[in-house]
Structure 1
Amino acid sequence: MAQAEGSYYVPHGSNWPIVGSVGITTLVVGIAMYLEGMGTGLWVLTAGALIMITMVVGWFGDVIREGVKGLYSAQVDRSLRWGMIWFIFSEIMFFAAFFGALFYARTLSVPWLSGEDPATSRVLWDSVALQWPTAGPGSTATDWQPMGPWPLPTINTLILLTSGMTLTVAHHALKEGNRARLITFMWLTVALGVIFTGFQGYEYYEAYAHLNLRMDTGIYGSTFFMLTGFHGMHVVIGTIMLLVITLRCMKGHFTPASHFGFEGAAWYWHFVDVVWLGLYIFVYIL
């Protein structure tokens, strides 16, 4: 049973953590089996993904119901905010590792292999001359082209920046109690997220079909798809979050004084915007 100790809500015992543990273990095992070419790998992977989806929907559903019932005190609200802050910090470190890999390859590995460090160049790839963007010394004969900033990446940048503006307008509408404007601009934000994902999918089609740019196109291909692919996954997750928040806005779950669920999703979406700006500059332009 749920308990209240002082002003802090202590939730009832939950089975969702163990369900999530089973789901993520099944998912990882399924991915490993699939990569090893085992016939049942895809089925195990799918089962793990379904268990994880069930866990997320069920657990977040419990949190939403508890919040709507007014069970969360100001202290719980602060705890939730700090939890979201640390989660976003972990996401920053996640992308920092991938940006670090890109910078290492561009500013250290490529110059070293091209003769800046004679020992490295002579021992590993003697007389090779590389300049970024490159697929690496082992793929110099590969015929491919890098993805430039125009037109799709620039269009997607404008779309994502616009979505940040519409979300901010919706946030102000929520604080002002303007329900019609809130719902309108939330749906606009969700639509822009979907459009961004569609354009990125088309960009990948262009990369494979016309530029011969693939995940196995050396260091450039691997870093390009690693960074843009993980960002695209975050856009999909963020769009789903915003869709849920929009439906909750329509149900009247938030008030001008109490709407952390909205703010948490907004923080996440603005983080996704900032990461994309880094991608646009360091992956597409420079």
Structure 2
Amino acid sequence: GFGGLSLTVGGVGMFSGQGYLLFEFGLLILVLTVWQWWRDVIREGTYLGLHTYVVVYGLKWGMVLFIVSEVLFFLSFFWAFYHSSLSPVLEVGSVWPPVGIEVFNPFQIPLLNTAILLASGVSVTWAHHALMEGDWGGGLVALAITFGLGAYFSILQGYEYYEAGFSIADSVYGSVFFMATGFHGFHVLIGSTFLLVCLIRHYLNHYSE
């Protein structure tokens, strides 16, 4: 909790030009917390045999509730976008996109990133079925492909941000765009990290059917 709070407040300070120290401190605490959490999960599930049916059932329902909360979280950003675009106010020129905003071509990087995400969904499903069927090699290849696609997506999004002709401070369009795509990109980074851990664990034969 303290690491997340430090990361959030530090991020606000970083965007406000007040330095990176608090943000880096929060990030360090978060990384250490995640490292210890993964260490305990691997130790309990692989070596101690503590992941019983009841524990696994609880973990599955925890993931379901997490996904539901994420759907509602991103729904708020879509709501903000449609509310602002369907009835643009006078402050943005009564048009959408607002006056002075040079938008991205949706058929370039956005379309490519969409294809990458869809392809990663196919490859991670392949990995899932390979694990269930005991196909060690297929699971390893599929997880590696999925991680590579996630990393490629993050690189392309970083390039897209670098080439953007507007910032988070440029009207409601910039705010909604960078908040929604930024949080989505953050989720991709976290998911790619999880996939990398799964890839390493699969290589070390931590999984069974």
TM-score over 0.5 (shorter chain): yes
How far is 1:199 from its partner?
A: 1.1
Alpha-carbon spacing, 1:34–1:152, altered in 2? closer, same or farther (3 Å): closer
Give 1:235's aligned residue. 188
Give 1:45's aligned residue. 23
Give 2:146's aligned residue. 189
Give 1:27's aligned residue. 7
Q: Residue 63 of structure 1 is aligned with which of 41, 44, 57?
A: 41
How far is 1:213 from its partner?
A: 2.1
Give 1:81's aligned residue. 60
Q: Residue 207 of structure 2 is aligned with which of 211, 229, 254?
A: 254
Give 2:125's aligned residue. 168
Alpha-carbon spacing, 1:101–1:46, altered in 2? closer, same or farther (3 Å): same
Q: Residue 106 of structure 1 is aligned with which of 62, 85, 95?
A: 85
Which whole-Å CA distance do the structure 1 matches of 2:65 and 2:118 have between them?
Answer: 24
Q: How does 1:92-131 map to 2 (within 5 A)?
A: 92-108=71-87, 110=88, 113=89, 130-131=94-95
Alpha-carbon spacing, 1:34–1:188, altered in 2? closer, same or farther (3 Å): closer
Q: Residue 156 of structure 1 is aligned with which of 113, 117, 131?
A: 113
| Structure 2 counterpart of 1:67, one-letter code | G
Q: Secondary structure at the match of 1:203?
A: helix
| Structure 2 counterpart of 1:54, one-letter code | L
Give 2:197's aligned residue. 244
How far is 1:37 from its partner?
A: 4.9
**What TM-score, normalized by structure 2, do the two folds share?**
0.91
Q: Secondary structure at the match of 1:145?
A: coil
Give 2:156's aligned residue. 199
| Structure 2 counterpart of 1:148, one-letter code | N
| Structure 2 counterpart of 1:200, one-letter code | Q
Which whole-Å CA distance do the structure 2 matches of 1:154 and 1:36 have between them?
Answer: 32
Alpha-carbon spacing, 1:198–1:30, altered in 2? closer, same or farther (3 Å): closer
% identical equivalent positions:
41
**1:168-212 deviations in Å (ceiling 9; x for gaps):** 1111111110101110111011011111111111112221xxxx2
Name structure 1 gaps, 5 residues minimum. 1-20, 115-124, 135-139, 257-286
Name structure 2 gaps, 5 residues minimum. none
Tell me whether 1:215 sits opposite 2:168 in the alignment. Answer: yes
Q: Secondary structure at the match of 1:232?
A: helix
RMSD: 2.0
**What TM-score, normalized by structure 1, do the two folds share?**
0.68
| Structure 1 counterpart of 2:130, one-letter code | A
Alpha-carbon spacing, 1:103–1:55, altered in 2? closer, same or farther (3 Å): same
How far is 1:147 from its partner?
A: 1.2
Which whole-Å CA distance do the structure 1 matches of 2:129 and 2:143 have between them?
Answer: 11
| Structure 2 counterpart of 1:203, one-letter code | E
Q: Secondary structure at the match of 1:90?
A: helix
Q: Residue 147 of structure 1 is aligned with which of 89, 104, 112?
A: 104
Which whole-Å CA distance do the structure 1 matches of 2:12 and 2:153 have between them?
Answer: 30
Which whole-Å CA distance do the structure 2 matches of 1:153 and 1:188 have between them?
Answer: 20
Which whole-Å CA distance do the structure 1 matches of 2:49 and 2:22 have between them?
Answer: 39
